[in-house]
Structure 1
Amino acid sequence: MTEVAESSPESIEFLRAKLRELKIQSRDELDALRHDRDQMREYKQIRDDHNKEVKSLIESVKAEREERDRINQEITEAKERRKAIHAQLASIYDEIRELRSNLVGSPSTDQRRMMRRVEELEWKQQTEQLSRDEEYSIVEEIARIEAQLVKIGQEKEKQDRISEARRLARKLKEEASEVHEKVLSLSEQSQIHHQEVVRIRPQLEEYKKSADTAHKNFVEWLKKVKEGEARLKEQRTQIEDIQTKLRKQTVEKRDEERDEQRQHQKAQERERVESAVEKLQSGKRLTFDEFILAQRTVTDDKKRSKKKAHDAEKVEEAAASTTEAKATPDFEPDDELESILDESESKPDTEPSSDNETEQQQ
């Protein structure tokens, strides 16, 4: 059997053994609690760090998407502008064809040949991607043929309108080419930002998964910490209860010892008094202290006896009379003490010792 089981409950030995056992358990529980708290803090730190990374990556993805969307909006606007330019070019070429078809007179074979050549060049200009040199060569050839046609057909005004329309068409084609280059450049930039979003997303998912796992572990260790704190609190409560009981029993034991000591002192005092009175009554030799003690004791006894007699007399008077009367008892000399003192004075061998006489004279 253990030390605790062998002792009776609530005894000091039992309480002390239980206190030692609880303190050992409390220290072990505290060590385990510290370990659990360290684990909890570690997972909390991992969770917080990875959540910061997740937040940072989310901000990066957001910024990349916003930039990509802004560029895509510019691409959309550029495409709309390019589409509008192409529509305007088609309208201008329709106007040129209409003006040329309204030339007055029956053109000669050369005129028809030149007009077909102009149409071929214009068609090539509309449908093919030409270099600047090729474009310039076609424009010059068309201008040369049209100059000849103007001379031939005497349609200078119409030819001027046609020439003006062609100049506007060339300007619009240059603008359309610039817009097209802008679309290509913006598309490349948009793709770069899109690829950055694609690159960040796996990292974001990895950090998020790690943060979720760390949080799950943190919650598990937090539960262990709370359970350990509850057990430790219960153990400390039991320790405080036992310490309170031990203090109470210690105080009670000390009070009992003091009471026993006081009772012992009183018993010794009574023995001294009884011995002194006995010596006084029997005429034996007394020390000065014994003489004073015996005299005081006999006097106190007489006073208590007189008081009891006086109280009894007052009770009898109160019962016999309806009026209030104050009785003043006569003083009765202590005959017994006087006889004892006279007897002690008549016997030399019962007088106080010489040492006590010296003390009395002093």
Structure 2
Amino acid sequence: MSANGGILPSFVADNPLSPHRFNRPNRGQLNDPKPSVRVITPRLRNGIIFAVTAHVLWGLFPLFWRQLSQVDSVELVCHRIIWATVILSILVPIQLLRSSQDEFQAYLGKLRRPSTWLLHGVAGMLIFANWMAFIWAVNHGRVLEASLGYYINPLLNVLMGVVFLGERLSRPQWLAITIAAIGVSAMTAAAGKLPWVSLVMATSFASYSLAKKKAQLDSFAGLLIEMSVLIVPAIVYVLIVHSRGEGSMGQISWRIDALLVCGGLATLVPLGFFAAAAQRTPLALIGILQYVGPTLQFLIGAVYLGETMGRGRVLGFSLIWCGSAIFLANAVRAAKKQLRQAKTLPSDSVGLDGVSGVSQHVELVTDDASVDR
């Protein structure tokens, strides 16, 4: 038998001019029945690009919604609900038509459960509160408070996991939460009042994430149910303000009309990128990237819009950044651990993204069900 295992004669395999020449495997490779695979695959690379794109778009949201500052915040959120529902009513049926018979039946089975409608109904109310607080903050010169809400949100997510899901936190996570709480207290003491916009945003979004985690429908299908719960009150409100001559659609300019319609699209485009990323990227890596959005929002508020940064706010943000850094370092360690595990996986246990054989349960969780911003 030839040195190459009998596949080709040795003079062909070892001939440097032969087109069939290949490097002779070492003893370890010959004895390893389950070779490892490359972790950074094109699919994983695309997933990271999709995740970064989604978070950058969310981070730039203040620039978009400020173009609609002439519109009342409640009416603006109602238009966002209406136009998002219109687009979802087209996208979700297309999604279902492209799904397998088993997936379609599973979807129908979930729709028949009262718990699905209850959880998504609650989620709809929570996302309304979150959208309302965010748009109000943006259009009233409080983008820094909005960014603060999304810095606090990951910490509040894991705290809710302890309270409602019985999860256990590591010491770094407890330390991060404690430091962030001190930061919020410092801001409260300096301003003489709670940063209520930040707390409403963080609490509503963390509660929304918890409801979506239990509901287990994908992003678009779940969001359509949530919007269907809100669509009737939204339409009624818009009709009432128009009957009073206070409505914005068709009353200000064609540019405002176009932006109101695009509000639904702006809601769904980053969500689509994130859903694509979640299918290709480990949750630990996605969790690390979630700080891109609030960081961009902070820069927009502090640098572009020139919002005031008093001493109390500087101290509060510094403490919250410190807590977030500890939290982020913990997430980076989790991501590195996943990648190390992936490198040792046999090829027959690895999915298309190169890491799907690795457990994706990490202490920092941001799945596609919790990002309908």
TM-score with structure 2 length normalisation? 0.28
Which structure: larger Rg?
1
Higher relative contact order (CA 8 A, sep 6+): 2
Structure with bigger helix share is: 1
TM-score with structure 1 length normalisation? 0.29
